[in-house]
Amino acid sequence: MRNLALTGLTVCVVLLFVAAATCGQTPEGDGSSAGTTITLAAGRMSPVVSDAPSRPSGSVALTASVVYPGLGQLLNDSETKAAIIGAVEAFLIARLVLEDRWTRDSKRNYVETGSAVWYNEYSEHYDRRQTLIWWAAIAALYSLTDAYVDAHLAGFDDPLPAYLDAVSIGPGSGGDELRVALSVRF
């Protein structure tokens, strides 16, 4: 039974990595990720075509991460983070299910036999289950927070506007100075 669960977990992890690897690929063309985005508008049956890159709102990315671990990161075009977060959460959830099953079995065996060996096994599995609950909650909160913040920071790395030539920060002429330079084109 344990081998079957571990095999299922391995298949889930492999599928997450394959999905993450293929999400970043673009269809035929010049290989760039810029292109036409087709989205379905609410209340319409036909797709709305837009050349602007789609950026999900923070609440959409957060909700997507609640629905499926790593989906919010995929919406934010963070395929690597999505694969890692999805794999970690899948592992934690699968392990939590196994520990819960082993905890219940150990408790049932202890109640039936009254043996201290079963009680010790029950106690170990119970402690591991509680620890896994905390780790799964922490991983889920991290995933939700990361998806929300990344959605709000989308476009933060966009290039400087056309009227700005350069922004530079560096050491000043003296040893204890900081120099900030901003070049503006008129």
In this prediction, residue 66 carries a pLDDT of: 87
Query: Does 73 or 23 have the greater pLDDT score?
Result: 73
Q: What is the pLDDT of residues 109-118, one digit of tens each?
A: 999 999 999 9
**Strand partners of residue 169:** 180
| Lowest mean pLDDT segment, chosen from 1-5, 8-12, 41-45 | 41-45
pLDDT at residue 119 is higher than 60: yes
User: What pLDDT is attached to residue 40?
Assistant: 40
Residue 36: per-residue pLDDT: 42
- Compute the distance between CA of residue 177 and CA of residue 170 in angstroms, rounded to an integer: 9
Beta strands in the chain (DSSP E): 37-40, 47-50, 164-171, 178-184
Residue 18: per-residue pLDDT: 42
In sign, the C-alpha dihedral spanning 126, 128, 131, 132 is negative
Q: What is the pLDDT of residue 118?
A: 93
* H or E stretch at 13: helix 2-23
DSSP 81-123: HHHHHHHHHHHHHHHHHHHHHHHHHHHHHHHHH--HHHHHHHH
Among 93, 103, 83, 105, smallest CA distance to 132 is for 93
Percent of the chain with pLDDT over 70: 61
Instruction: At 116, list the tokens.
Output: 């201290």
| pLDDT score recorded for residue 168 | 72
- DSSP structure class, residue 1: -
Per residue in 26-51, pLDDT (tens digit) is 344 444 444 444 444 444 444 444 44
Adjacent-strand bridge partners of 47 = 40
- Beta pairing partners, 39: 48
Mean pLDDT of the chain: 74
| Spatial separation of the C-alpha atoms in residues 118 and 79, rounded to whole Å | 44
> pLDDT value at position 126?
95
How much is the pLDDT for 165?
A: 62
